[in-house]
Amino acid sequence: MKIYKNVDGLRRWPLPNDIDSASYVPELASPQIPIEGISVTDLRNTLFDEVRNSYTQDINCSILFQLLTEYSRDNSLIHPLDEIWKKSDDEARFHLLDGLIYHISKHTCVMKVLDRSLINLVMKEFHESPFLVQLSEDRTREKIKTCIWWPMWQKEGSEYCKTWERCQKAKKSTGKILRNMIKIQEPGRPWEIFHMD
C-alpha cells in the first residue's frame, strides 16, 4: 500500500490517519488507548486483586465489566446503570485492561476503584503521608486524579481534606497581625539614636 506522504506534506495540515481518510494506513493508525506516560509502581499484586474482587460487589461495576468484555454490546445492560456511569460509558471513557477497569479523562487514564477501604487508604496516603509535605485540598485532589477514579471523587476528596483534624487546627489567618505601635524616640541632636531594620 502506497503512503501519500508527498501530498500530505504539501498540505498545510496533513490528513489524519483514520478510516475516512484517502491516505489511511492501518499499520500506522494510533492505538485505541494512547500511551501518554508510564507510571512505575511498587504496589503488590494483592492490591490489584482486591480491586478486581471489589468489582463483583457493585452492580454498576459488574454490568460495566460485562459490557467491556463482550464483543457485541447488549444495550439492555446499560439501562440499570446510574446516570454518572451511563454518561461516562456513552463518552467511551471506560476501558478494560488486565481485568481492571480504567477511566479515561482528558489527560489521565486511571484505575477504577470502588472498595471504600482502598479509597480511604489512597486519600490518607496522599493527604497525611509522613513522606509527603501535607498537601492542600487542591494538591490532594490533583494526586488522587492521577491515581484512581470513583463516582463523586472530587466531592469526597474535598470533604476528606476539610474534615481532617490536623488541617482544622493548623489553619492560619490570612490577614495581617495587628500589634501596638511603638513610638520612636526623637533624637535631640544628630547621630544620637540609630535604628536598624
Cα torsion angle, 109, 83, 50, 72, sign: negative
- Compute the distance between CA of residue 16 and CA of residue 176 in angstroms, rounded to an integer: 57
Phi first, then psi, for residue 104 (nearest 5°) are: -105, 125
H/E run at residue 48: helix 45-57
CB 113 within 8 A of CB 145: no
Q: Please report the pLDDT score of residue 60 as a whole number.
A: 83
pLDDT tops 60 at residue 3: no
Angle, CA 13 vertex, CA 7 and CA 14 arms, to 5°: 45
- Compute the distance between CA of residue 32 and CA of residue 95 in angstroms, rounded to an integer: 10
Q: Higher model confidence: residue 32 or residue 56?
A: 56
Q: Higher model confidence: residue 6 or residue 168?
A: 168
CB 142 within 8 A of CB 154: no
Nearest to residue 85, comparing CAs of 99, 70, 65, 56?
65
**pLDDT-derived band of residue 111, with 50, 70 and 90 as boundaries?**
confident
Residues in the chain: 197
pLDDT tops 60 at residue 38: no
Q: Stretch 109-130: mean pLDDT, rounded?
A: 73
Q: Stretch 172-181: mean pLDDT, rounded?
A: 65
pLDDT tops 80 at residue 188: yes
Query: Over the stretch 135-168, which tens digit does the pLDDT of each residue have?
Result: 677 777 777 777 777 777 778 777 877 777 666 6
The CB-based long-range contact list for 3-11 (8 Å cut-off, 24+ gap) reads 3/28
**pLDDT-derived band of residue 129, with 50, 70 and 90 as boundaries?**
low
**pLDDT-derived band of residue 47, with 50, 70 and 90 as boundaries?**
confident
- Compute the distance between CA of residue 167 and CA of residue 50 in angstroms, rounded to an integer: 30
Give pTM, 2 decimals: 0.53
Radius of gyration of the chain (CA): 28
CB 18 within 8 A of CB 24: yes
